Amino acid sequence: MAPKTLEEGSKYAHFDKDGDGVITDEEFMLEREMMRAENEDAKEDQIRKMAWFALWGLLVYPLGIIVADIVGYETTGELLADIAPTYFVAIAGLVGAFFGAQAYTKGKTNGGGAPAPRPRK
Ligand SMILES: [Ca+2]
């Protein structure tokens, strides 16, 4: 079977890490692994941002009630206070799930969270 070649200016040309003009299975797998790691990283960043947004929401929420009260929107303040218990429990659950997932993945990647064996002297 004739060897496969990439078209001119292919966006996959950078797969050839050592520049010998041949994309080996190893180079292909390496690139795939790197892409997966980048995606994983982006996903974690996104989740972290969401957790921070949720935590800021928890901080700002009571201020919303206070501001509504000061401005004289009594109904708004009351409605916000009515929603508060549900909101706080939901956000606490969300943030809890975030930290739980973090701990779980960390434990999984570190081989069950067992400490690394100490080098013998
Ligand atoms: Ca190569």
* Most distant pair of Cα atoms in the chain: their distance: 80
Cα(7) to ligand 1 centroid in Å equals 16
Confirm whether 116 is domain-assigned. Answer: no
| Full DSSP string of 13-65 | GGG-TT-SS---HHHHHHHHHHHHHHHHHHHHHHHHHHHHHHHHHHHHHHHHH
Q: In the structure, what pLDDT confidence band is assigned to residue 94 with cuts at 50, 70 and 90?
A: confident
pLDDT computed for residue 56 by the predictor? 92
Here the tokens at position 20 are 């010998």
Confirm whether 26 is domain-assigned. Answer: no
Confirm whether 5 is domain-assigned. Answer: no
Confirm whether 33 is domain-assigned. Answer: no
Cα(36) to ligand 1 centroid in Å equals 20
Cα(3) to ligand 1 centroid in Å equals 14
In the structure, ligand 1 is a single-atom ion and the residues with CB under 5 Å from it are: 16, 18, 20, 22
Task: Give me the chain's average pLDDT, please.
Answer: 87
Confirm whether 81 is domain-assigned. Answer: yes
Confirm whether 91 is domain-assigned. Answer: yes
pLDDT computed for residue 111 by the predictor? 59
Confirm whether 18 is domain-assigned. Answer: no
Confirm whether 62 is domain-assigned. Answer: yes
Q: Which domain holds residue 79?
A: 47-109
| Number of structural domains the chain divides into | 1
